[in-house]
C-alpha cells in the first residue's frame, strides 16, 4: 500500500501510451488514417496523457468540459481541472472528419497518437476571447481597468497562443505512440509519474514537495527548496523541458545549472532533478493550479508556490497564484478534488543586514538592504552583459549561464515587470 498521495481523479494513473504488440498494431493502423498536424502545445499534452501526467484525462476535452473548466474549474463530471486541454484544427480538416472517425495525430513528421473523434465544436473569436478572460485575466495592473485587451494581444504569450488557434476543437480519446525526443535528450531527467513514484517509494518518502522551474535556479529558488526539505521528506525540482517564449533559457542549459547547484549545495538524497514535457501556457494562477494537479500524479502532495508563480508581465497579483487555491471548488470527494496542497512562501530575497536569505515574514529591514531575486531579472542581466549583483546566484551556476549567453548570436530583449524588478515591494 503506497503512502504517497493518490493520482488525481480517483482512477489511478491513466496512461494512454502503448507498448509492444499493441504499439506495433496501432502504428500500422495509423498509417492508413487521415493525418492531422498538431501544435507543439498539443504534442506535450499528448505525451502527458500517454505517461499518466494528466490523469484522469484520456483525451482532449469536449465542449462541456472546456466550458466547465473555464467557468468553474470542473469538468462535466465534477472533477477538478484548471486549464482547458483542447485540440484545435482548421475548418477544412474538421469538415473532413466525422464523429466516430479515427485519425492520426502528427507533430513535425512524427506520429504521436491516434484519436477516436467524439465531438467537434467551433471556436469563434468571441469564444477564444471568453477563454482568455477566464484563464489568463488576473488581478495585476495590466489586467484591470480595461487594460487587458489593450495589452494582452501583443504582450501575453498565452493569449496570443489561444487567439491564434484554429477555428474548430475536436474531442476524443487518444492512444499515444511516442514520447517525442524527451527520453533521448534528457535521460535520467525526463521521468514519468510511475518512475518518480517508484523513486519516492524507494527513498521512503511520503510527504513530497515540488518546485516548478522555467528559469535557472537563483538563490530564492534554492531557499524555497531548502525550506521544503526541512518540513518534507524530499523535494523534486521539476523543470519544464518543453517550449518557452523567446528570450527564455533553453531546457538543457537550465537542467545543467540545477545539476551544478545540487552537486555543490544540497544533500543529494533529499532532492531529485526531473523534467516534464509541457509547453508553458503562462496562465499565472490557473497554471499554478495545473502544476499542482499534474504534480499530484507524479506523487507530490505539496506544491511550492511563491511570488508571481507562472506569471508574465504585470497581468497577475504578486500572490494571486497562492490565493486561488483558497477559491477552488471542493466537493468532499477525494476522487474529484485537488489533493496536492500549496506550500505558500512569501517574497524571498537576500538581506545584507540579516546576512542571509529572508522573506517579508522574517526580515524587518528596508528595501535598500535587500537583493531582489527573480528569474526575469537574472535573464535580463545576463542577456545585457550586466554585472550580476552579489548573492543573486551561486558563482558556479552563473559561470555556466554566462557561457550560454556568450555563445548566442541573437538576443531577445527581456522585458522587466514590477514583480521582477522589485518596484512593487
What residues are labeled active site? 214-215
Q: Are 274 and 236 in contact (CB under 8 A)?
A: yes
Q: 3-state DSSP helix/strand/coil percent for the chain, to nearest 5?
A: 40, 20, 45
SS3 labels along 142-193: CCCCCCHHHHHHHHCHHHHHHHCCCCEEEEEEEEECCCCCHHHHCCCCECCH
Pair type for strands 208-213 and 234-240: parallel
Angle between helices 148-155 and 125-135 in degrees, nearest 10? 100
Contacts of 156 (CB under 8 A, 6+ apart): 136, 282, 312, 313, 315
> If you search the block for the grid coordinates 538543457, which residue do you land on?
252
For the chain, the distance separating the N- and C-terminal CA atoms, rounded to the nearest angstrom, is 46
Give strand ranges (E) for 153-297.
Answer: 168-176, 208-213, 234-240, 271-276
Q: Which of 313, 47, 44, 276 is nearest to 158 (CA)?
A: 313
CA distance 273 to 16: 25
Contacts of 70 (CB under 8 A, 6+ apart): 84, 130, 131, 134, 135
Q: Are 45 and 39 in contact (CB under 8 A)?
A: no
Give residue 307's Cα distance to chain centre.
16
CA distance 136 to 157: 10
Helix (H, G, I), strand (E, B) or coil at 22: helix
The CB-side HSE value for 63 (13 A sphere, CA atoms) comes to: 11
CA distance 374 to 417: 10
CA distance 273 to 221: 13
Amino acid at each position: 500500500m503506497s503512502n504517497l498521495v493518490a493520482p488525481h481523479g480517483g482512477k489511478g494513473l491513466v496512461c494512454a501510451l502503448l507498448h509492444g504488440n499493441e504499439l506495433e498494431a496501432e502504428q500500422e493502423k495509423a498509417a492508413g488514417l487521415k493525418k492531422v498536424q498538431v501544435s507543439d502545445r498539443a504534442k506535450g499534452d499528448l505525451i502527458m496523457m500517454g505517461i499518466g501526467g494528466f490523469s484522469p484525462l484520456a483525451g482532449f476535452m469536449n465542449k462541456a468540459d472546456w466550458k466547465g473548466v473555464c467557468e468553474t474549474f470542473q469538468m462535466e463530471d465534477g472533477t477538478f481541472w484548471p486549464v482547458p486541454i483542447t485540440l484545435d484544427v482548421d475548418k477544412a480538416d474538421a469538415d473532413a472528419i466525422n464523429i466516430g472517425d479515427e485519425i492520426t495525430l502528427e507533430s513535425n513528421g512524427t506520429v504521436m497518437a491516434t484519436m477516436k473523434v467524439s465531438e467537434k465544436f467551433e471556436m469563434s473569436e468571441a469564444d477564444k476571447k471568453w477563454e482568455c478572460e477566464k484563464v489568463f485575466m488576473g488581478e495585476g495592473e495590466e489586467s484591470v481597468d480595461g487594460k487587458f485587451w489593450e495589452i494582452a494581444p501583443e504582450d501575453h504569450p498565452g493569449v496570443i497562443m489561444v487567439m491564434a488557434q484554429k477555428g474548430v476543437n475536436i474531442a476524443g480519446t487518444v492512444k499515444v505512440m511516442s514520447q517525442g525526443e524527451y527520453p533521448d535528450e534528457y535521460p535520467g531527467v525526463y521521468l514519468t509519474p510511475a518512475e518518480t513514484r517508484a523513486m519516492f517509494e524507494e527513498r521512503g518518502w511520503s510527504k513530497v514537495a515540488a518546485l516548478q522551474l522555467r528559469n535557472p535556479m537563483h538563490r530564492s529558488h534554492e531557499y524555497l527548496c531548502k525550506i521544503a526539505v526541512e518540513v518534507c521528506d524530499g523535494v523534486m525540482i521539476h523543470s519544464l523541458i518543453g517550449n518557452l517564449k523567446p528570450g527564455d533559457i533553453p531546457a538543457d542549459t537550465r537542467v545543467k545549472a540545477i545539476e551544478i547547484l545540487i552537486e555543490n549545495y544540497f544533500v543529494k538524497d533529499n532532492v531529485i532533478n526531473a523534467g516534464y514535457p509541457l509547453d508553458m501556457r503562462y496562465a499565472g494562477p490557473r497554471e499554478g493550479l495545473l502544476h499542482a494537479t499534474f504534480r499530484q500524479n507524479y506523487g507530490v502532495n505539496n506544491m511550492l508556490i511563491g511570488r508571481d508563480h507562472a506569471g508574465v508581465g504585470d497581468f497577475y497579483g504578486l500572490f494571486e497564484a497562492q490565493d486561488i487555491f483558497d477559491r477552488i471548488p471542493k466537493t468532499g470527494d477525494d476522487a474529484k478534488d485537488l489533493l496536492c496542497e500549496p506550500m505558500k512562501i512569501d517574497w524571498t530575497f537576500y538581506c545584507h543586514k540579516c546576512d542571509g536569505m529572508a522573506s517579508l515574514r522574517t526580515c524587518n529591514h528596508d528595501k535598500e538592504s535587500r537583493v531582489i531575486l527573480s528569474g526575469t531579472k537574472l535573464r535580463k542581466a545576463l542577456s545585457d552583459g550586466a554585472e550580476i549583483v552579489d548573492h543573486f546566484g551561486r558563482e558556479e551556476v552563473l559561470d555556466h549561464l554566462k557561457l550560454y549567453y556568450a555563445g548566442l548570436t541573437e538576443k531577445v530583449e527581456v522585458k522587466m515587470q514590477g514583480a521582477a524588478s522589485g518596484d512593487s515591494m
